């Protein structure tokens, strides 16, 4: 399967700047807050106290933090991640391919992929409670302004009335600011979600050829079912033919005959093998007996050789002893003979000396 056939080009969206998008979203709360500041410093004739300014500042900070989780800003983040979105979508398509006939498409749901992918674009929990948070902050700020601005109980009636009027005026402005923020949040939520859906629908339209639709699956399954039924009907038509059954009977009979012949051949082979085994065992038995006789003869020969060796060793020992004795006797006789010769020579010499003396 060639993965390049699933390459696609996503529709180009308007190139927007991050700061411009953020400024567009937050411009209304900032302008209202600036108007409150101008009124507090006397540039605009509105009765706004310091308490209302402080509470409005707190609400503006919350709005600035919440802005990055609005639908409009999330749509901008989604547009910036076009390459990553394309890569993830292609991987999602390849993981769930289904081949029906000659066509191969993804059996997954594009809407489920968008739902899972968009979870990480922004914090959905903050987005869902944004309008409620700003409304509650407006109501809470109203009560805080009234409570803080009331004069002490020991003050005069005129002072109490004046403080009450001032606190109510500031409280109304805080409530108005909270309501404006809530409406502002709802507007950009609806606006951003609408923009996001339009962008997703364009991308879904581009990639629709890579996904099996419910209608396509039903149509293909019906076609495959009809094709299978037509094949089955063809098989039944062939099976119901008399010629088929006659050929089948002949084929079964031939197979049975071949099987019978095979059994007979196996039986004959087993019989021959058993006879050969018996003959082989008989031959082995005879060979074993002959080997025992040969072993007995070899044993006798070995015993005779051992006896001969022992006798030969005894003879060698006797010869050695006799030779030693003979050598000893020869030495003794030779010594005696030398002594006798020496004695005879001495006697002859002595006798010759005597004869010489007598001759003188």
Helix or strand (DSSP H, E) at 100: strand 97-100
* pLDDT tens-digit series, residues 244-262: 667 767 777 787 788 788 8
Q: Write down the pLDDT at residue 158.
A: 57
Q: Write down the pLDDT at residue 220.
A: 65
C-alpha distance from residue 150 to each of 155, 177, 201, 303, 344 (Å): 10, 21, 56, 140, 178
Q: Write down the pLDDT at residue 9.
A: 52
Select from 199, 228, 6, 200 the least CA-distant residue to 96.
Answer: 6
Residues 6+ apart with CB under 8 A from 267: none
> 91 versus 238: which is more confidently predicted?
91
Q: Write down the pLDDT at residue 102.
A: 74
Q: Write down the pLDDT at residue 235.
A: 60
Query: Averaged over 41-58, what is the pLDDT?
Result: 85
- The whole-angstrom separation of Cα 270 and Cα 166 is 121
Q: Assign 3-state DSSP to the chain and report helix, strand, coil percentages, each to 5.
A: 85, 0, 15
The encoded tokens of residue 148 equal: 């803080």
What share of the chain has pLDDT > 70, as a percent?
Answer: 79
> 190 versus 12: which is more confidently predicted?
190
DSSP one-letter string for 111-154: HHHHHHHGGGTS-HHHHHHHHHHHHHHHHHHHHHHHHHHPPPTT
- The whole-angstrom separation of Cα 94 and Cα 207 is 13
The torsion angles phi and psi of 235, rounded to 5 degrees, stand at -65, -45
> 46 versus 153: which is more confidently predicted?
46
* Gyration radius of the chain over CA positions: 63
Q: Write down the pLDDT at residue 327.
A: 73
User: Under a CB-based contact definition with an 8 Å cutoff, are residues 149 and 166 in contact?
Assistant: yes
Q: How far apart are the first and last CA of the chain?
A: 154
- The whole-angstrom separation of Cα 207 and Cα 278 is 81
Select from 61, 112, 63 the least CA-distant residue to 88.
Answer: 112
Select from 62, 69, 182, 187 the least CA-distant residue to 132.
Answer: 182
Residue 202: is its pLDDT beyond 80?
A: yes
Among the ranges 93-97, 149-153, 179-183, 234-238, which has the highest mean pLDDT value? 179-183
C-alpha distance from residue 193 to each of 30, 55, 198, 303 (Å): 23, 30, 9, 115
> 62 versus 12: which is more confidently predicted?
62
The encoded tokens of residue 177 equal: 């600011």
Select from 59, 78, 76, 85 the least CA-distant residue to 188.
Answer: 76
- The whole-angstrom separation of Cα 347 and Cα 355 is 12
Query: Averaged over 125-143, what is the pLDDT?
Result: 87
Query: Averaged over 315-323, what is the pLDDT?
Result: 74
Residues 6+ apart with CB under 8 A from 173: 36, 46, 48, 52, 56
């Amino acid at each position: 399967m060639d993965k390049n056939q699933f390459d696609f080009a996503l529709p180009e969206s308007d190139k927007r700047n991050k700061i411009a998008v953020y400024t567009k979203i937050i411009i209304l709360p900032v302008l209202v807050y600036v108007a409150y500041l101008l009124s507090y410093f006397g540039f605009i004739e509105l009765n706004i106290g310091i308490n209302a300014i402080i509470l409005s500042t707190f609400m503006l900070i919350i709005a600035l933090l919440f802005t990055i989780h609005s639908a409009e800003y999330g749509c901008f983040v989604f547009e910036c991640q076009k390459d990553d979105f394309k890569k993830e979508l292609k991987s999602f398509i390849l993981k769930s391919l289904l081949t029906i006939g000659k066509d191969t498409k993804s059996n997954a749901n594009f809407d489920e992929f968008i739902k899972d992918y968009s979870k990480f674009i922004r914090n959905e929990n903050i987005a869902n409670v944004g309008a409620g948070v700003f409304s509650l902050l407006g109501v809470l700020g109203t009560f805080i302004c009234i409570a803080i601005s009331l004069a002490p109980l020991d003050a005069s009636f005129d002072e109490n009335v004046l403080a009450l009027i001032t606190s109510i005026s500031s409280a109304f402005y805080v409530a108005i600011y909270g309501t404006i923020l809530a409406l502002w949040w709802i507007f950009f939520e609806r606006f951003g979600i609408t923009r996001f859906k339009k962008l997703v629908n364009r991308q879904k339209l581009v990639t629709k050829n890579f996904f099996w639709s419910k209608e396509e699956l039903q149509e293909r399954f019906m076609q495959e079912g009809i094709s299978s039924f037509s094949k089955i009907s063809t098989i039944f038509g062939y099976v119901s033919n008399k010629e088929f059954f006659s050929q089948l009977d002949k084929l079964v009979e031939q197979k049975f005959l071949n099987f019978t012949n095979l059994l007979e051949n196996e039986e004959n082979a087993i019989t021959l093998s058993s006879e050969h085994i018996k003959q082989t065992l008989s031959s082995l038995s005879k060979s074993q007996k002959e080997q025992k006789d040969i072993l007995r003869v070899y044993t006798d020969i070995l015993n005779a050789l051992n006896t001969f060796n022992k006798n030969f060793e005894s003879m060698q020992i006797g010869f050695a002893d006799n030779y030693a004795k003979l050598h000893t006797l020869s030495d003794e006789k030779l010594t005696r003979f030398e002594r006798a010769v020496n004695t005879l020579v001495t006697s002859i010499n002595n006798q010759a000396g005597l004869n010489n003396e007598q001759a003188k």
